[in-house]
Amino acid sequence: MALRHLRVLPHPLTNFTPKLSPNRPKHRVCFSLSASPIMASISRKVLVPIADGTEPMEAVITVDVLRRSGADVTVASAGNQLTVQALHGVKIVADAVVSDVADTTFDLVALPGGVPGVDNLRECGVLEKLVKKHVEDGRLYAAVCAAPAAVLGPWGLLKGVKATCYPAFMEKLASYTTTVESRVQLDGKVVTSRAPGTTMEFGVALVEQLYGKQKADEVAGPLVMRSNHSDEYVFAELNPVQWTTENPPKILVPIANGSEEMEAVIIIDILRRAKANVVVASLEDKLEIVASRNVKLEADMLLDEAAKLSYDLIVLPGGLGGAQTFAKSETLVSLLKKQRENRYYGAICASPALVLEPHGLLKGKKATAFPALCNKLSDPSEAENRVVVDGNLVTSRGPGTSIEFALAIVEKLFGRKLGLELAKTIVFTSP
């Protein structure tokens, strides 16, 4: 067995400590100033505005994590249509348009980044008015990536606070406020963060501010988050083979009602950043699916159409409902069995245990899966690894390992250099 290493350099961190899986060191996220979380048993109302050009990982991870806490999250389009064309060809269907919720009182407004998404958010007059009143009322607000510098700063909402943002926007941010290089930064009522690779920490930090540390720990545990961003991350590789593909490689990512939205979007986003030809196929009778935390995503085509094509790699996101649908699909299972013969395939979270294992697709293979489902693997000997590559198969554990999973795939398809570059680009490792 070989362990492949990608270097993770230290980052100044911020004072939030999510609960992690047993026997792992705690990952500290320290805040510069303390703020009293809103403590209550009632559901907190959250607005996550999105626009054409929004960074899909940042939007979807934020929504997913907050909904895990029980927050009532409204995804609102800053345009005139519910369907938003996010970056990297990801289509997100909003719950409402911003004008529909202009008079609603929210406990938190959280802005994702992405260019030109941040420009479209900033130019939405209804959103600007809503957010400024929200801040004047002393309520919690947040932004990630380019949004602190390109939206909150120009709106005058960062005066006198410390904030962080995407590294390339730090100079711009400095014209509005005091900058820090924390992965997540809390100052008073504003929380800021750096990039797609810090968004899960950002989301859990928001949960702590809304509901308290106990709830944040409860949410963080099942995510299988990384224990320490200053450590190297590794993936276990057994029976190594050189992956050879078309240029660009063609990849099928099936989705269904109940698929885990973070896992699906992270896989799609990162593989498309690597310039892979990714086809997103719906197993439902329409393109739109409702994922496990009620994020609505739109596929490129239906599975029956996608099945007419050939792929270098088929990779399954998790999510209990989605995995159950995958396992029942004769079309998808047939594709996977053919894929196993001479091409590449992968799965994360519930899918290795609930899709691959029952159909004999893990026979003779080492794999991992979501911790609570590893007892369903016929060979769980490598299941403690966050990502396992065994020949032409790659598996992983859960939402918090999705970026490592996607980077491992990039490395196998395109080489280590590109994997490292992407890890830095999304601030998963030091830029």
Give per-residue pLDDT as tens, 327-346. 999 999 999 999 999 999 99
Residue 8 in this model has a pLDDT that exceeds 70: no
pLDDT digits (tens, 9 = 90+) for 159-169: 999 999 999 99
pLDDT at 69 over 80: yes
pLDDT above 70 as % of the chain: 89
User: Residue 71's pLDDT band (boundaries 50, 70, 90)?
Assistant: very high
Q: Which of 145, 165, 349, 374 is catalytic?
A: 145
pLDDT digits (tens, 9 = 90+) for 258-307: 999 999 999 999 999 999 999 999 999 999 999 999 999 999 999 999 99
AA identity, residue 54: T
Mean pLDDT, to the nearest integer, of 313-323? Answer: 98
4: closest CA among 404, 316, 367?
404
For 212-257, give the DSSP string: -HHHHHHHHHHHT--S-TTS-EEEEEES-------SSPEEEEEE-T
Q: Which range has the worst mean pLDDT, 22-26, 67-71, 413-417? A: 22-26
pTM, two decimals, is 0.91
DSSP string, 315-345: EE---HHHHHHHHH-HHHHHHHHHHHHHSEE
Does position 347 have pLDDT exceeding 50, yes or no? yes
Checking if the pLDDT of 34 tops 90, the result is: no
Q: What is the pLDDT of residue 40?
A: 43
The whole-angstrom separation of Cα 321 and Cα 64 is 15
24 pLDDT higher than 80: no
Taking 60 as the threshold, does the pLDDT of residue 53 lie above it?
yes
| pLDDT surpassing 50 at residue 72 | yes
What is the average pLDDT value for the chain, to the nearest integer?
91
Residue 231: per-residue pLDDT: 62
313-327 burial, b at 16+ Cβ within 10 Å, e below that, comes to bbbbbbbbbbbbbbb
Nearest in space to 401 (alpha carbons), one of 328, 366, 350, 327: 350
Which two structure tokens, joined as six digits, stand for 77?
A: 């389009």
User: Which of 186, 189, 184, 122 is closest to 149 using CA atoms?
Assistant: 122
The residue among 266 and 9 whose pLDDT is bigger is: 266
What pLDDT does 234 receive? 75
- Considering only CA atoms, which of 199, 198, 196, 178 is closest in space to residue 187? 178
Tell me the per-residue pLDDT of 120-151, one tens digit each, with 9 for 90 and over.
999 999 999 999 999 999 999 999 999 999 99
Q: For the segment 225-244, what is each residue's pLDDT rounded down to a tens digit?
A: 987 766 656 799 999 999 99
H-run or E-run covering 92: strand 91-93
Burial class, 114, CB count within 10 angstroms (exposed 0-12 / middle 13-18 / buried 19+): buried
Provide mean pLDDT across the span 359-386.
97
Where helices occur in 352-415 by DSSP H, the ranges are 402-414
Q: If you ran DSSP here, which 8-state letter would residue 266 be given?
A: H
Structural domains present in the chain: 43-219 (3.40.50.880), 234-424 (3.40.50.880)
Q: How far apart are CA 121 and CA 143, in angstroms?
A: 12
Q: Does the annotation mark 145 as catalytic? A: yes
Question: What's the pLDDT band for 38 if we cut at 50, 70, 90?
Answer: very low
- What would the two tokens of residue 73 be? 């999250």
Average pLDDT of the residues in 368-372: 98
